[in-house]
Amino acid sequence: MGRPSMTATSTDRLVAEALAEARSTRPVDPDTSAGPARQSWAGEPTDLAAEGGALDLGHLLATSLKAGPVDRTAEPVDPGDGVSTRLRPAASAGGLHPVNAHLLVGPGCSVPPGRYAYDPLEHRAFRRGPAPANAPRGMVAVLTVTVQRTASHYGHRAWPLLLLDTGHAVAALAMAAIAHGHHARLTLNVNAARLAAAAGLPGPDRWNATWAGTTAEHSLAAVHITVRTPADQPGHLTPCPLTTWAAEPLATRPATGPAPSPAGHRAGAVLIALSRTTAPAIWWPAESSFSGEKSSLAQAIANRRSAPPPLHGQPDPGALAAVLSAAINAGPYGPAWCAAVGMPPGLVTADPSEPKALRPIASGEARPTLAVWAARQGWLSQAGAVLLAEGVPDSASAEQIRVEHLAAGYAAACAELTATALGLRTRPIGSWQAADLGASLGGPAGQRWVIHGLALASPFRPSPPSHSRSDRR
> Domain holding 223: CATH number?
3.40.109
pTM for this one? 0.93
Residue 297: inside a domain: no
Domain end call among 227, 255, 285: 285
Averaged over successive runs of 10 residues, the pLDDT of the chain (473 residues) comes to 51 94 96 95 87 89 87 42 59 95 97 97 96 97 98 98 98 97 96 97 95 98 90 64 97 96 97 92 92 86 93 96 96 93 97 86 98 97 98 95 98 97 97 97 97 94 42 23
Instruction: Kindly state whether residues 247 and 348 are assigned to the same domain.
Output: no
Instruction: Kindly state whether residues 312 and 392 are assigned to the same domain.
Output: yes
**CA-derived radius of gyration, the chain:** 22
Residue 292: inside a domain: no
Instruction: Kindly state whether residues 81 and 202 are assigned to the same domain.
Output: yes
Instruction: Kindly state whether residues 146 and 59 are assigned to the same domain.
Output: yes
Domain end call among 255, 285, 315: 285
In this prediction, residue 74 carries a pLDDT of 44
Question: For the domain that residue 445 is a member of, what is the CATH number?
Answer: 3.40.109.10
In this prediction, residue 8 carries a pLDDT of 61
In this prediction, residue 355 carries a pLDDT of 72
In this prediction, residue 436 carries a pLDDT of 98
Distance CA 391, CA 458 (A): 27
In this prediction, residue 88 carries a pLDDT of 81
In this prediction, residue 460 carries a pLDDT of 67
Instruction: Kindly state whether residues 373 and 436 are assigned to the same domain.
Output: yes
Distance CA 349, CA 321 (A): 7
Instruction: Kindly state whether residues 372 and 448 are assigned to the same domain.
Output: yes
**Which range marks the domain in which residue 80 is found?**
8-285
Instruction: Kindly state whether residues 180 and 270 are assigned to the same domain.
Output: yes
Residue 343: inside a domain: yes
Instruction: Kindly state whether residues 272 and 330 are assigned to the same domain.
Output: no
Number of domain units in the chain? 2
